[in-house]
Chains A and B, each alone.
Chain A
Amino acid sequence: MGELGKEFFNWTVIREMFPGLLTEAVKNTVVLTVFSFAGGIVLGLLLALARISRHRWLRWPVAVYIDLFRGLPLLLVIVFVGFGIPIGLGTQFPYEPLTPGVVALAMVYAAYIAESIRAGIEAVPKGQMEAARSLGMPYRMAMRRVVVPQAFRIVIPPLTNELLALFKDTSLVAVLGTRVGGKEITKYARDFVNHSGNSSPLVAAGIAYLVITLPMLRLVAWLDRRSKAGSR
């Protein structure tokens, strides 16, 4: 265990990662996650509503969008948004490389989130919409006030899963390059491995992820149980 312990649990090496592991790496991972997920939720909700729209000209292109981004590897989309668009259009994203990273993550995750939300909306019994409409509510108002709020309760467990996956996928954004102070957890740890020649930073990075993901996983399980046992 001695040799193995030194390679994976070398506290001298791990101690050097602080405080940057928290003030830089975890911070940047969380920032990427929060902005991307916020964008993904907004875009995903719009996509979901368009996906179930009565208008074919709305439904169709959105279905194509969702299939496209669910079918593409995230890394490819990140490289396309981060390098392809600036080369093609000759313009730069502001706050680059954070912005293209967030845009790519939000675009891809919106497709997944849209499918989760659509499933949630469709799981709300038809009678709810019919009752709201029979009270004289227009379609949009009935959707906004009656169906979507109920759907959100249903989709919280799958959305938490998307958030978890997104949190881990932020590590891919490093392909666009990182500025001083701009590394997320995985890149931060890889650089420490490179400098120290020791694998312990990877273990520390893993723990940093788990500290955030394990409670979230438990939360998903709890929400899942609650929604199954719930009054609905």
Chain B
Amino acid sequence: MSVRSMRLPAVALLLVLLAGACGKDTPKNNSTGSAGGGDGSSTVDQGRSLKTVDSGKLTVCSDIPYAPFEYEEGGTLKGIDIDLVRAVTGRLGIAADFRDTDFDGIFAALKSGQCDMIASSVSITDERKQQNNFSDGYFEIHQSLLVRKADEARYKDLPDLKGKTVGVQSGTTGADFAKAHASGASIKEFTGADELLTALKAGQVDGVVQDQPVNAYNAKTTGQSVIVKVFTEEKAEQYGFVIPKDKADLLAAVNKALKEVRSDDSYRTILNNYLGSTAGQS
């Protein structure tokens, strides 16, 4: 191929990239202008003055399904994250619009301006904090090991899965945990939590390492799997909403609304709804 005939597609590609970059720049510049928000104003004023990806609503990236935190049932979105976000945006006087995004691409989606915030059972880690801001933590979890009910007696802990296959979801703290602690096992990564749980059922993985409430929900709803170990000896992880570093006003507004939601009964009602009244979150 001659240099000449290559030039045209290269220029076209560059134009497309530039167009995309310009499109996302505009809202970003606007939002930094009104940073701060001011704690004195009411939550609704604070919410309405936010500059968001789609004006008038908060676009939220979430990897659905991840029950009981985000899932679809009968054509509507449900879950702790979903209801909590709606409670928060309700306080801010704006609507919430959810966008289903694979977890392994979710931070890139946030960065590329497809959403204002991630609400997807994201554990707060130091590594993730380098790239983005987190809201105050809203839920505490431990990692756990889920196996098929038939294997309940055989596999009690990760060392029992030596030579077997342990399934995890790409980019999650569960994946990091398994890589660090399940050294004798073959680790298999999935892009979706739904495929991960299907693979356990299909017998392609022998154990699943992920957040305890999600494994517990699968055990409860399918009746075919069981949690054999919750890794409570490790430090608990906190879920937080993820917000880009350049949206300090959004972070302040979300934290303020979150505090209000937690100070009255609405937070507890949401948890009770999905976890039953025994939920031990403060």
**What is the interface of chain A, defined by CB distance below 8 A to chain B?**
3-4, 8, 79, 82-83, 86-87, 90, 92, 96-97, 174-180, 187, 190-191, 193-195, 197, 199, 214, 218
Contacts and interface: CB of A to CB of B under 8 A. Distances in A.
Contacts of A218: 1
B180 to A, nearest CB: 13
B105 A83 contact: no
Contacts of A180: 186-187
16 contacts: A4-B17, A92-B204, A97-B204, A175-B195, A177-B190, A178-B188, A178-B189, A190-B104, A190-B105, A190-B191, A194-B104, A194-B107, A194-B170, A197-B107, A199-B112, A214-B1
A194 B105 contact: yes
A90 B131 contact: no
A90 B202 CA distance: 7
A90 B203 contact: yes
A194 to B, nearest CB: 5
A15 B188 CA distance: 25
A83 B108 contact: no
A58 to B, nearest CB: 34
B262 interface: no
Contacts of B107: 194, 197
B145 interface: no
Interface residues of B, number: 31
A118 to B, nearest CB: 33
Contacts of B104: 190-191, 194
Contacts of B111: 197
Contacts of A191: 104, 170-171
Given A92-B203, A177-B195, A214-B1, A193 B188 contact: no
B82 interface: no
Contacts of A177: 167, 188-190, 195-196, 199, 204-205
Contacts of A90: 203
B18 interface: yes
Nearest to A91: B203
B189 A83 contact: no
Contacts of A82: 202, 204
B198 interface: yes
Given A179-B186, A197-B107, A86 B171 contact: no
B202 A83 contact: yes
A174 B196 CA distance: 12
A191 B187 CA distance: 15
B104 to A, nearest CB: 5
Contacts of A3: 21
Q: Top 4 nearest A-B pairs by Cβ distance?
A: A86-B202, A197-B131, A177-B188, A194-B171
A85 B18 CA distance: 45
A1 to B, nearest CB: 9
Contacts of B171: 191, 194-195
Given A96-B204, A191-B170, A197-B108, A83 B1 contact: no
Instruction: Give the one of A3, A87, A92, A218 with max B CB within 10 A.
Output: A87
Nearest to B199: A177
B201 interface: yes
A180 B170 CA distance: 12
A54 to B, nearest CB: 42
Interface in B78-122: 104-105, 107-108, 111-112
Contacts of B105: 190, 193-194
A83 B187 contact: no
A8 B20 CA distance: 12
B169 to A, nearest CB: 10
Contacts of B186: 179-180
